[in-house]
Amino acid sequence: MGCLSDHGIVGPVVRDGEISDAAWAVIGPLLPPVGRARGRWRDHRQVLEGIVFKFRTGLPWRDLPERFGPWQTVHGAVRPLGRRRHLRPPAGRGPDTGRGGLAGRDRFHDRASPPARGRQRGLEERGIGRSRGGLTSKIHLACDGRGRPLAFLVTGGNRNDCTQAEAVISLIRVPAPGPGRPRTRPDHVVADKGYSARTFRAYLRRRGIKTTIPERVDQLAGRTRRRERPCGFDKAAYQRRNVVERCFHRLKQWRGIATRYDKRPDRYLAAITLASTLIWLDQ
């Protein structure tokens, strides 16, 4: 949502298994104190860096290096992270809502490895579906104008893009800088032809959201036959849709996201949540 800079999503280089001091300065105060009274025996940063290392490298849980402590402890700390479907921007780092605001909408497939597939029954409940590439998962994501994630969903790879568009947009929650309700409506939605559906366009019009979505060839042909005018299309605004592609590029640098190794959906959602949070904090 806002103007795009060529360096908008480039952050400091962080080695595998490490969280920058600047990011930890924001995360650390949000976690409960470490101490016996609260049943916390491991340092929070050690455990969280173990989770980051696991999802960045994609290695099995049991192969975590000893410096992160017992793998069971790190594995057990992942579950709460998988409960969120939207990102809350840190204080002072609100979404890019400058002139020409937009929220990118897109998706990408990732192949589910054999450990993630497990038994063939219940694949849809685990966010795995059969597509042209085999058994895959699909991430539906909305980001701001600098390629920072705002909300996401995980479905099977066979789910149509436009069927999940409204659900993703409805998950956007941006806290107000002061008192007031969170912001749930982007200024402008830019998406590709996969989201050119009448129902989705009508949904955005009802909410007063500007739209830049190209129409498919068959839709344009139908309008020509009916002698209707095509939908308005801003080519300059559409050129900025690459921010969501660049966001996915950042996410796919995490091997545990580019290839799904975890059978349980909450573990996979936790990886996306953590990677998205660090994108926000490391910019």
Cα–Cα distance, 96 to 220 (Å, whole number):
33
Could you tell me which residue, 6 or 78, shows the higher pLDDT? 78
pLDDT of residue 63: 93
Q: Compute how many other C-beta atoms are within 10 angstroms of the C-beta atom of residue 134.
A: 11
Helix runs in 91-229, H state only: 114-117, 165-170, 198-206, 217-225
The mean per-residue pLDDT over the stretch 238-251 comes to: 87
pLDDT of residue 56: 92
Could you tell me which residue, 224 or 258, shows the higher pLDDT? 258
Q: Which amino acid is at 28?
A: G
**pLDDT tens digits, residue range 189-200?**
998 888 888 899
Mean pLDDT of the chain: 77
User: What contacts 47, CB < 8 A, 6 or more positions away?
Assistant: 68, 69, 73, 74, 77
**pLDDT tens digits, residue range 16-34?**
457 888 888 888 888 777 6
Residue 123 has pLDDT above 80, yes or no: no
The DSSP code for 118 is: -
Beta-strand pair 134-143/129-131: antiparallel
**pTM score over 0.75:** yes
Residue range 21-281 forms a domain whose CATH class is alpha beta
Q: Where are the domains of the chain?
A: 21-281
Q: Percent helix, strand and coil across the chain, each rounded to 5?
A: 40, 15, 45
φ and ψ at 71, to 5 degrees? -65, -30
**pLDDT tens digits, residue range 221-234?**
877 788 787 777 78
SS3 of residue 260 by DSSP: strand
